[in-house]
Amino acid sequence: MLKDITIGQYLSGDSFLHKLDPRTKIIAVILYMVSLFIVNNFWGLGAMLVLSLAVVLISRIPLRFFFRGIKAIVFIVLLTVALQMFMTPGEPLWELGILKITKEGIRQAVFMGTRLILLVSVTSILTLTTTPISLTDGIETLLKPFQKIGVPAHELAMMMTIALRFIPTLIEETDKIMKAQSARGADFESGNLMERAKAMIPLLVPLFLNAIKRADELALAMEARCYHGGDGRTRLKALQYGRRDAVAGVFCLCMAAGAFLTRLL
């Protein structure tokens, strides 16, 4: 189960999307999200669906990665769909006591469900085709202009880099401690809610202690190598826009404009 977490996973490859500048990809994802929520009729939603499929194909990432990502949020999707279906006021189609399904409800449910699934799939393309390092580099450069108004761009990016770096380590460690405690007869899989919560103590205590210790050591190691924040730091690989970024950028602007136009339909 722990292995299903795909956030921050990167899959190396050399597709068009892998080669794009991370800044382009981040902006593209933002434009995509906006477009996804601008469209409000089925034509628009259908177009977004086709577009997303095309992007998935271009990325050349095996489909099962997307299914796994969707599996992880299946509960949230179902909950959203159910809430929309039953809570939206309007023309009732079916009624049972206080439960009623309306025509508007079904429409809303389809919209929200599709949007959520598309959102998760396309954002996971961002992380699947971009190494964490270039992703945070991209974020840092994009945030640079906001430094004037006090946004600590470099520090935020560094924090993100570190957090992303340690997700797999923490998952691995959880697995290891869980095994060690199971070998001592700990039971993580049965019992009622209270018992299960209590069974987590032997897992969480070592996990947190190790994480804190590791953070300490990391800080020390960074300081030992004279790390002192972002001022005056240069890069080995400076980010550079290329022709394909222009292509992708124009394409995304067209998408956003198109999304606006479908509203007028």
Partner 1 sequence: MSLEMKHVFYTYQEGSPTESHALQDICLNINEGEFLGIVGHTGSGKSTLIQHLNGLLKPTKGEVLIDGININQKEAKAKRKEVRLKVGLVFQYPEYQLFEETVEQDIGFGPRNLGLSDTEVQERVKEAMALLKLDYKTLRKQSPFDLSGGQKRKVAIAGVLAMKPKYLVLDEPTAGLDPRGREEFLEQLAVLHRQGMTIIMVSHSMDDMAKYAQRMIVMDHGQIQLQGTPQDIFSQPEQLQQIGLDVPSLSRLLLRLKQRGLDVRTDLFDIEAVKTEILRAMAAREGKLTC
Tell me whether residue 175 or residue 223 sits nearer to partner 1 (CB atom): 175
Q: Least distance (Å) from partner 1 to the CB of residue 190?
A: 10
Q: Least distance (Å) from partner 1 to the CB of residue 195?
A: 12
Q: Least distance (Å) from partner 1 to the CB of residue 167?
A: 16
Q: Least distance (Å) from partner 1 to the CB of residue 216?
A: 14
- Range 213-221 contact pairs with CB under 8 angstroms and sequence separation of 24 or more: 214/166, 214/169, 218/162
Query: What's the rounded Cα separation, in Å, for the pair 255 and 48?
Result: 9
Q: Least distance (Å) from partner 1 to the CB of residue 75?
A: 24
Site for partner 1 in 61-80 (CB under 8 A): none
3 binding partner 1? (CB under 8 A): yes
Site for partner 1 in 154-183 (CB under 8 A): 173, 176-177, 179-183
Quick count: other Cβ atoms within 10 Å of Cβ 219?
12
Amino acid at 135: L
Tell me whether residue 185 or residue 232 sits nearer to partner 1 (CB atom): 185
Site for partner 1 in 5-64 (CB under 8 A): 11
Tell me whether residue 164 or residue 248 sits nearer to partner 1 (CB atom): 164
Tell me whether residue 188 or residue 251 sits nearer to partner 1 (CB atom): 188
Q: Residues binding partner 1: what is the number (CB under 8 A)? A: 20
Residues that bind partner 1 (CB under 8 A): 3, 11, 173, 176-177, 179-187, 201-202, 205-206, 209-210
